[in-house]
Copies of this chain bind each other. A is one copy, B any other.
């Protein structure tokens, strides 16, 4: 009954915002400039995203790549793959962006919900594999799977945000080895 939102707008705006974010960073991302670059009125942007933070959240969600995850009967391999994939994804994202999201999440509840939902997907995938591995007796079963997940994924964020050390596929393997024990054979 009403004029529907122009679907193309979302794409144009997010594309423009992405460019800006990449080239100028979060602070330098100006709605005015995004609007101009997208060939769209500023009001149109604010009609869809109430603030810069929300726009960036949507942007991230848009950029999100599925963590393609096909479980095999080799939990160790699955886990290594998964952690390495997550590490690679994080390594490809500007650290400042991740930190900005964390900060926005901590300050604005609505943003927090969305950001947490974003990470939760990956978290859940890892949890599933870990639980699976545990059932097959590959992991010390005195530890809750959630804790193990924290110890597999947490270090990635720790390095990215805190120590600034690089995230390599090797590091992912090291983490899995530490949790599952050295390769049996």
Contact = CB atoms under 8 A, between A and B. Distances in A.
Contacts of A100: 99, 103
A162 B158 contact: no
Q: Is the contact region of chain A dominated by helix, strand, or loop, or is it mixed?
A: helix
| Size class of the contact patch on chain A | 35 or more
Nearest to A115: B162
A87 B32 CA distance: 40
Interface string A67-98: 00000000000000000000000000011101
B177 A143 contact: yes
A148 B154 CA distance: 12
17 contacts: A25-B103, A27-B27, A27-B103, A27-B107, A95-B106, A96-B103, A96-B107, A98-B106, A99-B100, A102-B162, A103-B103, A106-B161, A119-B163, A142-B181, A150-B175, A151-B155, A154-B157
